[in-house]
Amino acid sequence: MKPSPDFLAVTRSERTIAGASRLTPVAALLVAVTLLAACASTPAPTVGPTSPAPTASAPTSPPATQITEEGLRDRLDALAALSTKADGFRAVGSTGYDAAADLVISDLQASGWQVQEDAFTTPAFFDDGGSRLEVAEQAFQAGDVAPLIFAPGGEVTGPVVAIDWETPESTGAGCSAAGYGGLPEGAIVLVPPGVCFRRDQVVAAQAAGAAAFVAGYPAAAAGSVLRPTLVDPDGLTIPAAGASGPAVAALIDVAAKGGDATLVTDARTVPSPTRSIIAELPGSEPDSVIMLGAHLDSVIDGPGVNDNGSGVAALLEIARSLGGATPRSTIRLGFWGAEEVGLHGSFHYFEGLSAEEREAIRVYLNADMVASPNGYAAVYNESGAPAGSATVRDLLAAAIERAGGTPQILELGGGSDHLAFQQGGIPIGGVFSGANETVSPQQATASGSKAGAPADPCYHMACDDGSDLDLGLARMLTSALAEVAGDLANEPTLLED
């Protein structure tokens, strides 16, 4: 999940399904409002006080009662071990990702599922560790400066120009070439979060003649800067990096004095053959499919045990609990590759389906980050989603309530793999426990978490290693998914709004 504003926004920008119908003006407005909200400077998803009173409920499905914390823990430990042993991460193109894919296949086959691979080639981004930013007498390195995903590597020394820094939200913050004015030759531009995507800012800076781009994150503590993805390396020609609060302060000071800085980005992008894993439990009605998914890859900055090893573990536990069953509808699981760099795996899969295969999918349920240590039990909201999504929301909320939780409503942001299905007209839903956004007092009251602290302080960091997870919350959300998947598989008419 990508609630961090830049990361969330860029993963979904320019993503459309081939052959999907165009948005109506009203729907387009809703999407535009959602996208603009996601680009705001406060990295928190919109969460309502509680679930609306569920209008749909169903008896607990047997698989939900079979989900165990021990089963989740075992799978999370296995993913943590192989990620650490390999490269320290499971990013696309890494040995850690391939090892994780093999582990998932073995686990699914042991549970009696039919398994196949969905192969595709995608850009893989690597940070080789030598990036730095030299400003006056200060030198900032990894943690304070991070190459943006898919931006080219390089070294630039030049004058620093701070763009729209005083009032970034009202000025567009470098969203068009005109916003950069007349740049001096070799300029390194410092740009705050604004009302457009980071990719748009980088492309605009290139067009204006900038030699390098720095995405400023003034709220990021020393050593904790995040890196958004620019979705696609095509068309990117200048080095670009994110900078933490201390680095931003130094750059603003130098810019005010008309001074220079040096930016070095030690990064590369290479084509990488990879794969998503698709598993199926055939039903008695093969033309009716209930699909669940979770992304298998991590960022390059950590092992990704919560993001999204927890979602993977949830699906594997559901697969174990359902193994040997014969549901009415076919149940299909997708373990997606290349989510963290732009949702490439889920889009590749969905775009490769025929019209008949798409029509057979009755619903898509997503699991992305379900074990946040200071998290809450959230379900995806239906805003802008296809008909049937509201019913999915209510079923998931009711299942969480039956498990003793207080469901929170998460406004859809498109920052995870449900987006391909949503744009393709499939009813969607999902569960989430929070990322790096600050937990509100209301969320804390509902969940017992700590207000004012991030839901997951290790989001997209090396410390997302499985040492601090809420397995009780993970079990609750996994059980809710299992219950709803089982109910919908045996009674697909529940989706009729």
Catalytic center residues: 339
Residue 229's nearest CA partner among 190, 202, 249, 264 is: 202
Q: Round to whole Å and give the CA distance between 146 and 215.
A: 10
CB under 8 A, 24+ apart: contacts of 17-23: 17/347, 17/350, 17/351, 17/420, 17/423, 17/424, 18/351, 19/355, 20/423, 20/424, 20/425, 21/425
Give the pairing of strands 378-380 and 408-410. parallel
Give Cβ neighbours of residue 322 (< 8 Å, ≥ 6 apart): 63, 111, 281, 331, 482, 486
Answer whether 79's CB lies under 8 Å from 313's CB.
Answer: yes
First to last CA, the chain: 27
DSSP 149: B
Q: Round to whole Å and give the CA distance between 253 and 162.
A: 9
Q: Write b or e for each residue in 138-151: b if 16 or more Cβ atoms lie within 10 A of its Cβ, otherwise e.
A: bebbebbbbbbbbb
Q: Report which secondary-structure segment, H or E, holds 32.
A: helix 25-38
Residue 40's nearest CA partner among 219, 178, 177 is: 219
Write out 410-471 in H/E/C secondary structure.
ECCCCCCCHHHHHHCCCCEEEEECCCCCECCHHHHHHHCCCCCCECCCCCCCCCCCCCCCCH
Answer whether 446's CB lies under 8 Å from 379's CB.
Answer: no
Q: How many residues does the chain have?
A: 497
Classify residue 178 as exposed, middle or buried by CB count within 10 Å of its CB (0-12, 13-18, 19+): exposed
Residue 248's nearest CA partner among 147, 165, 171 is: 165
Q: Round to whole Å and give the CA distance between 410 and 377.
A: 10
Q: Round to whole Å and give the CA distance between 47 and 336.
A: 26
